[in-house]
Chain A
Amino acid sequence: MNEEIEKTERLRRGIVWVLQVTVTLQCLGNWRWLTQIGETPLLSWLIGPADVGGLAWSEAAGLATQSAIGWVVLVAGIVVLLRPMAAVTLPLFFFQLCIATAMWQTDYGFVPEASWLPTQLGELFPYSSQLTRIASPLGLQLLWWCGDDWSANSQRVDRVANLMRWAVAITFAAHGIEAWLHYPAFIDLVIGTAWNLFGAGLPQAGVERLLTIIGVLDVVIAVICVTTRVRGVLWWMAIWGGVTAFSRITAYGFDASWHMTLVRMPHVGVPVAVVLIWVLVGWLSAVPEEEEPVAESN
């Protein structure tokens, strides 16, 4: 029995650790993006004119604020690695929400267009594609609030896993739609990776066919993720999340892109955390109740 409890406790700590490392790496990537690279949707939003959705700050103020946020995010990432706390994780959650909002306001990134899709909904697409990054610090904090004894809070823990599962599924579906619609950046990621890793020159038409397949598969996987508890699906999502995150490096080189890989670490860490929570919850529900000792008769 003690071995079961120890095993459960190790897994619990491991799950939290996965999310801590995920959030820390995410923060490191964001730090570089905001302080070294500099051009982000956040900056565009801060200095953009008000008549087109911006906040109309001066360039100097925008750059200084962005840089300050970047350093705060880095420190927060280090603190999270040592000990998650709401004073740090919740601002990180709001920071990620802010990035998605800035993307919406400044028309940054992919905007799907289809006759059946209202334009305003298409413009909100960044929230879906960024959802796992938004959910990553939030999920960590919610689990931290579940305390050390998950057996007493297993339903709460399972709800947190559900929240993260939905975030991963929506992000997966969003990227699936991007792939299905042949987002040009994805075409170049595949062509660049194939050339740099294998010396293979892929024709664009072939890559587009591949992306169509990937896109459909992503949406199907997302649906399975939220309608079943097949662990293999989450493992696949984690692996594919890692492959696509690292494709930035394989296509464009390490120096140009490592921060873009790190900000995508939630695409790996969050599905891994979810599947491990399922394992843990499964163990917890299988542990028999401890029998009360029988009083000795004299």
Chain B
Amino acid sequence: MRVELNRSLVLVLLAVASLFVLSAGNVAIAAEGAQPAQWRLIWKTDPATAATLAWSTSIAGKQHRVHLQQADSEESEVVEAYRSGRYTGKSPELYYHFVKLEDLQPATKYWVEIESDGNRSPKMFFITAPKDDVPVSIIFGADSRSGLAERRQVNGMIASMVAESYQGDRVPVIAFAHGGDYIVRGTNLEQWSRWMSDHELTVGKDGRLLPIIPARGNHDHGGIYNEVFAFPAGELENYYAINLGPQVRYVTLNSETSVAGDQAAWLEKELKAGRPENRWLLTQYHTPVYPAVKRPGPNLLYWVPLFEEYNVDLVCEGDGHNIKRTAPIRESKIDPTGVTYIGEGGLGVGQRTPDAERWYLRPPHGKVGSEHHVQLLTFGKEKLDYRVVLLGGKIFDEHALAVRPADQRDLKASK
């Protein structure tokens, strides 16, 4: 028996070793030397006055900073990176750098030039969120983890949509909210590197950087997510809330950490404080509670009662790989005063067939589909306009939510 066990052990070790060999693949070169690449502008705190700019280099380098200049000013300032490090993972060799841009003016254009060891990026710009009560739009999407060609096309479409939104009297798109599942394997740096490179395609031809509001998906486990989106190392919470304007509160949750514990308690406090102060209250996260393809996650039990208690207007979800807009739902029934759920991720991943027979998806109250898409949300003073734009530009769905009456925004939240 000892001989059999030893033989078996050798076979197992050989099998494991071969997996190491087989899993080593070709690695795409993402950045060259200290030349900055893979930039992303991240909104996680107050987007009217702050942003985090992150980028990559393929060597560690010594000096990493950003040249920041307000568009209508002659003066510029240099902001040093507050954190740099090597992304977790053996290959490719890639380093991240984060710069915190603070004390910015709301609704203001800023030029940025990223510099690493004397190498500079192209000059780009971004616009901070407004502090005045003006209409704004965001683009929501999720699940860019596969379908890489489609992902690049969708990113290009996003850049075009953003550029168009600043023309004429359209409502400008100020950010891109991503509901998670950027890649397939959260510990695979190569996949993350490809995503970051593809994300550059959301930068406009005029150099406009589109801020991203990230949520974590079930495929985004591990430490690289924090390194890509400038969260503290080791953070598992990854939930936060920001104001897109003085009347639009956007709460990002994490369906991939405990949904019943601290996060549920935080969510209740956040919704209770946010509801009376904001005309529009939204949440985004990855695993849906009223799914069109899959089964609900455990967040159905812990979050939906809070969404309904505090009259959240719209919930943005991913994971299903389809297009979904539910009926307004309250206490597991269709209710005009209820919460509407949209999603479920079409930024590149192959699309699934939704189950249109589910009670909350049937027309005329709900709508489902199955094509690569983004969802455009426009926050006005009277209504929230929702539009699904397919890859190629066709409009698949349009819907409007009216502002909740005062008693739904104030009364229940103040108990």
A contacts, CB < 8 Å to B: 37-39, 47-49, 51-54, 59, 106-107, 111, 113, 118-124, 155, 159, 162, 184-185, 187-188, 191-192, 195, 203-205, 207, 251-252, 256
Closest 8 CB pairs of A and B: A204-B261, A52-B184, A187-B258, A191-B260, A188-B260, A49-B146, A107-B185, A184-B258
- A123 touching B298, Cβ below 8 Å: no
Minimal Cβ-Cβ distance residue in A for B293: A39
Q: Of B15-23, B51-59, B66-74, B397-405, which stretch is located at the interface?
A: B15-23
- B261 touching A119, Cβ below 8 Å: no
Minimal Cβ-Cβ distance residue in B for A187: B258
Cβ-based interface call for B62 (8 A): no
- A192 touching B301, Cβ below 8 Å: yes
What distance in Å separates the Cβ of A276 from its nearest Cβ neighbour in chain B?
21
Docked complex Cα distance between A119 and B186 (Å): 11
- B298 touching A252, Cβ below 8 Å: yes
Contact of B261 among A106, A120, A159, A191 (CB under 8 A): A191
Contact of A49 among B191, B295, B350 (CB under 8 A): B350
Chain B interface, DSSP helix/strand/loop, else mixed? loop
* Given A49-B146, A107-B184, A204-B261, 15 new contacts (CB under 8 A): A47-B350, A48-B184, A52-B145, A52-B146, A52-B185, A52-B191, A107-B186, A113-B187, A119-B188, A121-B16, A188-B261, A195-B260, A204-B258, A251-B298, A252-B301
- A49 touching B147, Cβ below 8 Å: yes
0/1 interface trace, chain B 283-295, chain A, CB 8 Å (1 if under): 0000000000111
Cβ-based interface call for B221 (8 A): yes
Contact of B16 among A122, A124, A252 (CB under 8 A): A124
Cβ-based interface call for B3 (8 A): no
Cβ-based interface call for B262 (8 A): yes
Contact of B259 among A38, A47, A49, A188 (CB under 8 A): A188
Residues in A with CB closer than 8 Å to B236 are: 184
Residue of B90, B146, B353 contacting most chain A CB atoms (<10 Å): B146
Residues in B with CB closer than 8 Å to A54 are: 146
- A51 touching B187, Cβ below 8 Å: no
Docked complex Cα distance between A161 and B223 (Å): 40
Cβ-based interface call for B256 (8 A): yes
- B187 touching A111, Cβ below 8 Å: yes
Residues in A with CB closer than 8 Å to B262 are: 203-205
- B258 touching A191, Cβ below 8 Å: yes
Residues in B with CB closer than 8 Å to A187 are: 258, 260-261
- B185 touching A123, Cβ below 8 Å: yes
0/1 interface trace, chain B 349-371, chain A, CB 8 Å (1 if under): 01011000000000000000000
Instruction: Return 13 A-B CB contacts under 8 Å, by A number.
Output: A38-B295, A52-B146, A53-B184, A59-B350, A113-B187, A113-B221, A119-B89, A188-B298, A191-B260, A203-B261, A204-B262, A205-B262, A252-B298
Docked complex Cα distance between A195 and B264 (Å): 14
Contact of B295 among A39, A123, A162, A195 (CB under 8 A): A39
What distance in Å separates the Cβ of A100 from its nearest Cβ neighbour in chain B?
13
Contact of B353 among A37, A59, A107 (CB under 8 A): A59
- A184 touching B20, Cβ below 8 Å: no
Docked complex Cα distance between A182 and B72 (Å): 50
Docked complex Cα distance between A12 and B50 (Å): 71
What distance in Å separates the Cβ of B68 from its nearest Cβ neighbour in chain A?
35
Docked complex Cα distance between A121 and B13 (Å): 11
Docked complex Cα distance between A48 and B147 (Å): 10
What distance in Å separates the Cβ of A226 from its nearest Cβ neighbour in chain B?
12
Contact A120-B19, Cβ < 8 Å, known A113-B187, A188-B260: yes
0/1 interface trace, chain B 14-44, chain A, CB 8 Å (1 if under): 0010011001000000000000000000000
Residues in B with CB closer than 8 Å to A123 are: 185, 187
- A192 touching B298, Cβ below 8 Å: yes
- A120 touching B145, Cβ below 8 Å: no
Minimal Cβ-Cβ distance residue in B for A47: B350
Minimal Cβ-Cβ distance residue in A for B353: A59
Residues in A with CB closer than 8 Å to B223 are: 113
- A192 touching B260, Cβ below 8 Å: yes
Chain B positions 173-217 with a Cβ under 8 Å from a chain A Cβ: 184-188, 191
Minimal Cβ-Cβ distance residue in A for B255: A184
Chain B positions 219-248 with a Cβ under 8 Å from a chain A Cβ: 219, 221-223, 236
Minimal Cβ-Cβ distance residue in A for B147: A49
Residues in A with CB closer than 8 Å to B259 are: 184, 188
Cβ-based interface call for B257 (8 A): yes
Cβ-based interface call for B148 (8 A): yes
Docked complex Cα distance between A195 and B260 (Å): 10
- A111 touching B221, Cβ below 8 Å: yes
Contact of B20 among A113, A120, A122, A195 (CB under 8 A): A120
Docked complex Cα distance between A123 and B293 (Å): 26
Docked complex Cα distance between A207 and B263 (Å): 14
Minimal Cβ-Cβ distance residue in B for A206: B261
- A51 touching B148, Cβ below 8 Å: yes
Docked complex Cα distance between A49 and B89 (Å): 23
Cβ-based interface call for B1 (8 A): yes
Docked complex Cα distance between A113 and B227 (Å): 15
Contact A159-B1, Cβ < 8 Å, known A111-B186, A184-B257, A204-B258: yes
Residues in A with CB closer than 8 Å to B298 are: 185, 188, 192, 251-252
